[in-house]
A and B are shown apart, each in its own frame.
Chain A
């Protein structure tokens, strides 16, 4: 339901291209942080598991690589979805 002439940011139903623009902004603005966060989480999981299982440094390396892979996977997925 659209109410024309009503002031306010969320007040009116937004047109489709407007929504997709904002969605693009939201998605693309999170690329960098998500990439870094994925690597950091992977490494953190690896370090944690290594401390627990005393297998240093193998799981750190493995999960660091998982983290990098997850970062790139997210990057590719997000770019496919929003990067048009």
Chain B
């Protein structure tokens, strides 16, 4: 499988940071492209806000409202507080995944570095939200379980269990998108056989659109579950 470069590349101006090579790494360029797309869309949508929204503003309102409703259903009436984090992550992942369907571009989420950055951000955020909600002592006490003498055993177990979350978040997203990307690359390298082209258009294209949306959804859903778990720590004991 040969390596297909993306359509545009940026000369490496980050040598001072220890990044080698003549070009900025592909996934970073693509991540910047996603950011540019999202910033552009947001700017166009909010440039002239009107009471009776135009098509662009309407679309964006629907998207933002969708995230907001989901948050309220998952976390409760306070859920809208977390809209900036969840909405940004969700839109970034969705647009990033969908870039894979455009020839010449690559999804930034097909690189473990990008997904790890997202997952670590979510991990640190939900712990911060938990600490902000309960105070650091109460939050850490929940790690130790209900029985005091079991705490030395419970704490490492809970701790490891929490550390496993960002790993599973990042590896799942990376694995799905990278795998799909690899299959498409192989199919396209065999394109002179004609049949792979039919498979690509008929099977992989719809499938990749489907995985893009589903993986975004799973990432967002799990992030919300984690935040809900951290914020509601105390409530579990009252039931």
Contact = CB atoms under 8 A, between A and B. Distances in A.
B70 A19 contact: yes
B218 A25 contact: yes
Contact of A70 (B63, B67, B160, B225): B160
Nearest to B156: A66
Interface residues of B, number: 30
A70 B155 CA distance: 10
Contacts of A11: 62-63, 66
B156 A63 contact: yes
Contact of A1 (B69, B217, B221): B69
A6, A42, A63: residue with the most chain B Cβ atoms closer than 10 Å: A42
Contacts of B42: none
Contacts of A13: 65-66, 69, 73
Interface string B206-221: 0000000100011001
B74 interface: yes
Contacts of B167: 33, 37, 40-41
A22 B214 CA distance: 9
A3 B156 CA distance: 47
Contacts of A74: 161, 164
A79 interface: no
The majority secondary structure among interface residues of chain B is helix
Interface in B110-152: none
B168 A33 contact: yes
Nearest to B161: A70
Interface residues of A, number: 35
Interface string B159-172: 11101110111011
A30 interface: yes
B172 A33 contact: yes
A42 B158 CA distance: 11
Nearest to A38: B164
A69 B158 CA distance: 9
A27 B172 contact: no
A69 B160 CA distance: 9
Contacts of A1: 65, 69
Contacts of B217: 22, 26
Interface of B: 62-63, 65-67, 69-70, 73-74, 153, 156-161, 163-165, 167-169, 171-172, 213, 217-218, 221-222, 225
